[in-house]
Structure 1
Amino acid sequence: MLDMEYIKLPYTNSTNTYAKDNAHYFNNEITVVQAKIQIKGRGRLNRTFISDNNKGAWFSIVIKPKKGTISAKTSLLMPIMAAAATASAIESEYCIKPGIKWPNDILLNNKKVCGILCESRISLSDISFLVIGIGVNVNQKEMHPEISDIATSLFIETGTEIVIDMLVQNICGNVASLYDKIKYGETACIIDKWNEYSLMNNAVITYVKEQSSYNAISKGIDMDGRLIIEQNGKILYLDSSEVSLKIQGANNDR
């Protein structure tokens, strides 16, 4: 297992922002930045992620790959890896099986319990660093009114108060293990692990791309982490940076 450094902050605007601003100071291959409170948490597509309380696990994992070990193309699997690692940690510790909405939203009972935001810095075709921001709703007894219809917490779903630091360590341990596999080219097992929790097999979806809405049937993901869909009799591939989507019949339109 790779050595990891943990940096704990009482609060910050965003752990991802802190991680990116300070990554050049980190010496370990993996560094974890965790905050009790995020004032300006961010999600995919510049959405706000509500994390202005000390009831959740708000943290970022900074990976500084050794030169030549991770290509820009391989780095596209990081959201898939992070989602699989998080879902696996939740299931193994709390005996409740979450589902993954592509690419990396974690759902329990059709409501979002975890969001993930992956960012990177590339220099001369090499990955300088990767930042995996993870926000898990953990011990909230009720959700913020703005998101109560689409979000939930581990406490709401299990009735159990959870030690946040232990959850963070378990997720980070899973990320480190899967990252090792990516480094050695074992990407198929990342896809397999993600598929164990996927909600996307033959799901009817609505997705938005370039401000237009489309209906399609999801067929899973390919080896690059793209979503395979069937639309009007044609097979198409979606990139997570281009679209947002909703699984029809679920409360997951973020």
Structure 2
Amino acid sequence: MRQIFQEIPSTNERLRLQNPNLWDSILAFEQHQGRGRRGNDWVSPKGGFYFSICSPQHKLLPLIAGLSSKLSLESFHQFNVSLKWPNDLILDGKKLGGILCESHNDFAIVGVGINIVTSPDVPSSISLNDIGVSINLLDLADKFENILKRELMNFDSNDFFISYRKAEILLGKNVRWNGSEGIVIDITENGELMVEENNNIITLNAEEVHLEH
């Protein structure tokens, strides 16, 4: 079942409190208390796509949700949406949206926020409207739900990582995190970022990673 709200504090939180069934979802056109990773605020003005859905648990869920978002958007228009590990959607080098996955007992909630008409007033953000693209939010919710179901229910590790690696902008790039820096080598089968740092190979699990320019 899907609920639709003109405005809401948080789609993820509302869905969690409802003790949802698998694939129940909430779509909102504005959030007042949207959340990003690490408890950061997610600016959610009117005119965006704010969607949360109850899904099965999966160790790669944030990456699968990111790829599903990319494929959903690209099904409507011919443009290239990239992914930035672990949860950002990138368009023309700027942040178009993000993913927030939260585990709750025997289910997970996948939250997706995408800048459709407007974007946060920062130079690193972009909206679809900025490039002259318009997508019906109900159609986007349907498409994302269908692709997410397909990716989870027919998951094939080899196929998934081939697609994900093609979309990931960090591969082969210099990055920095927590005062350290290195070169991204790969994504592990557990969804970790594999980085070469001073001739040592390390893996990052949930660190905030930034591209070196």
Identity over the aligned pairs, expressed in percent? 24
1:1-20 CA distance string (max 9 Å, x none) = xxxx2111222111111111
1:32 aligns with 2:49: no
Give the total of aligned pairs.
213
2: distance between equivalents of 1:190 and 1:131? 20
Give the conservation status (yes or no) of the 8 Å contact 2:76–2:135: no
TM-superposed CA distance for 1:34, in Å, is 0.9
TM-score normalised per structure 2: 0.94
1:101-128 CA distance string (max 9 Å, x none) = 1012010111100111010013xxxxx1
2:87 aligned partner: 104
**Which of 7, 11, 18 matches 1:11?**
7
**Which of 64, 79, 99 matches 1:81?**
64
2: distance between equivalents of 1:206 and 1:10? 39
2:172 aligned partner: 202
Partner-residue secondary structure (3-state), 1:160: coil
1: distance between equivalents of 2:65 and 2:187? 15
2: distance between equivalents of 1:194 and 1:205? 19
Q: How does 1:46-195 map to 2 (within 5 A)?
A: 46-53=39-46, 55-63=47-55, 65=56, 75-122=58-105, 128-140=106-118, 143-145=119-121, 147=122, 149-157=123-131, 159-182=132-155, 186-195=156-165
Moved over 3 A (4+): none
TM-superposed CA distance for 1:220, in Å, is 2.0
1: distance between equivalents of 2:130 and 2:6? 25
TM-superposed CA distance for 1:144, in Å, is 3.4
Alpha-carbon RMSD: 1.4
Whichever structure has more strand as a proportion of its residues is 1
Matching residue's letter, 1:111: K
1:239 aligns with 2:213: no
TM-score normalised per structure 1: 0.80
Partner-residue secondary structure (3-state), 1:30: coil
Where do 5+ consecutive residues of structure 2 fail to align? none
Give the conservation status (yes or no) of the 8 Å contact 1:155–1:162: no
Give the conservation status (yes or no) of the 8 Å contact 1:56–1:137: yes
